[in-house]
């Protein structure tokens, strides 16, 4: 049972870490949106506006992806909190977590790609 408690604690730690990171990224997208609005107010013309609209759409998509990942994390936490401590460790909870882990990896890569593109755009137009 002690092994099971440690095992579940490790899974919970991963989920909490991902949750904090996703919340940070969500807030970061709000900050980026504010900067885009600042650029739009400066009226730089179509050269600045076309990519701006693309970034605004990508921010909406990213925030939606974050919300979905947070929902999945909440569901995993419920599973961990309701785990049967007398049940043998069969890797079921860990195996259920692998798709989420892969999705988090993919999301993080895409987030930092978007962030890099936006920072280049900000450097040009701010």
Q: How many domains does the chain have?
A: 1
CA–CA dist 23, 1 (Å, integer): 33
Q: At what angle do helices 92-125 and 46-81 cross, to 10 degrees?
A: 160
pLDDT in tens, 9-47: 888 999 999 999 999 999 999 999 999 999 999 988 999
> DSSP state, 91?
S
The pLDDT value given to residue 83? 74
Alpha helices by DSSP H, listed for 82-126, are 92-125
- Cα 58 to its chain centre, rounded Å, is 13
CA–CA dist 107, 62 (Å, integer): 9
Q: What range defines the domain where residue 66 resides? A: 2-125
The pLDDT value given to residue 79? 84
Whole-structure pTM value:
0.85
> DSSP state, 45?
-
The pLDDT value given to residue 90? 56
CA–CA dist 66, 101 (Å, integer): 14
Assess contact for 66 and 22: CB atoms under 8 A. Answer: yes
């Amino acid at each position: 049972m002690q092994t099971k408690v440690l095992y579940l604690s490790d899974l919970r730690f991963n989920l909490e870490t991902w949750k904090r990171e996703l919340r940070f990224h969500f807030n970061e997208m709000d900050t980026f949106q504010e900067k885009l609005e600042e650029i739009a107010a400066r009226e730089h013309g179509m050269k600045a506006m076309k990519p701006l609209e693309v970034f605004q759409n990508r921010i909406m998509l990213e925030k939606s992806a974050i919300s979905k990942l947070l929902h999945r994390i909440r569901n995993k936490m419920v599973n961990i909190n309701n785990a049967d401590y007398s049940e043998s460790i069969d890797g079921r909870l860990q195996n259920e977590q692998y798709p989420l882990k892969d999705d988090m990896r993919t999301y993080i890569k895409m987030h930092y790609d978007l962030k890099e593109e936006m920072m280049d755009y900000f450097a040009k137009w701010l």
